Amino acid sequence: MQTNDAKRVEIIIEAPLEGRLLDTISQAGVTGFTVLPVLGGSGRSGRWSREGQVSAAGGMVAVVCIVRPERVDRLLEAAFAVVERHIGVVSVTDCQVVRAERF
């Protein structure tokens, strides 16, 4: 099956920043993304879990964007403007997509 190169960018970020991040990357022209829930995790600030939490403060979300290789830099820069002072974890993976015209 015919596939094309693309990049899969995964951003794990504090839930209260989700809206800002999505607005910023949308403005940077990245209008395709998917948000996944996160149950818990661990990092330099210790372990945490969403269980029983009411406030958004104690949670994170994972945002997955699949973009053409040439657009990844614009996305990363836009994302970074939001993530910079925060704890967001950003990773980029090479991938193949079908229907490349969509990305």
Partner 1 sequence: MDTIFSVMAQNLVSPIVLSFALGLLAAMARSSLSVPEAAAKALSIYLLFAIGFKGGASVAAHGFDGSLGAALVSGVALSLAIPFIAFGLLRAMTRLSAVDAAAVAGHYGSISIVTFVSATAILATRGVEYEGYMVAVAAAMEAPAIIAALWLAARAGAGARMDRELWREVLLNGSIVLLIGAFLIGALTGERGLKEIESFIVSPFKGVLCLFLLDMGLVAGRGLRQARSVLSAGAFAFAVLMPLAGAALALPVAILLGLSTGGVALLMVLSASASYIAVPAAMRVALPEANPSIYLTLSLGVTFPFNLALGIPIYVALAEFLGGA
Among 17, 21, 61, 82, binds a second copy (CB under 8 A): 61
Residue 69: other Cβ atoms inside 10 A: 13
Element (H, E) at 22: helix 18-27
Taking CB under 8 A as the criterion, the residue among 29, 80, 81, 86 binding a second copy is 80
51 binds, among partner 1, ligand AMP, a second copy, none (CB under 5 to 8 A by kind): partner 1
* 27 Cβ contact list (under 8 Å, min separation 6): 78
Q: Which residues bind ligand AMP (CB under 6 A)?
A: 12, 32-34, 41-45, 48, 60, 64-66, 87, 89, 103
Token digits of residue 96:
């193949």
Count of residues of this chain found to bind partner 1 when the rule CB under 8 A is applied:
22
**Closest alpha carbon to 4 in 72, 66, 76:** 66
The contact set with a second copy (CB under 8 A) reads 1, 3, 6, 8, 10, 12, 22, 26, 31-44, 47, 49, 60-62, 64, 66, 73, 76-77, 80, 89-99, 102
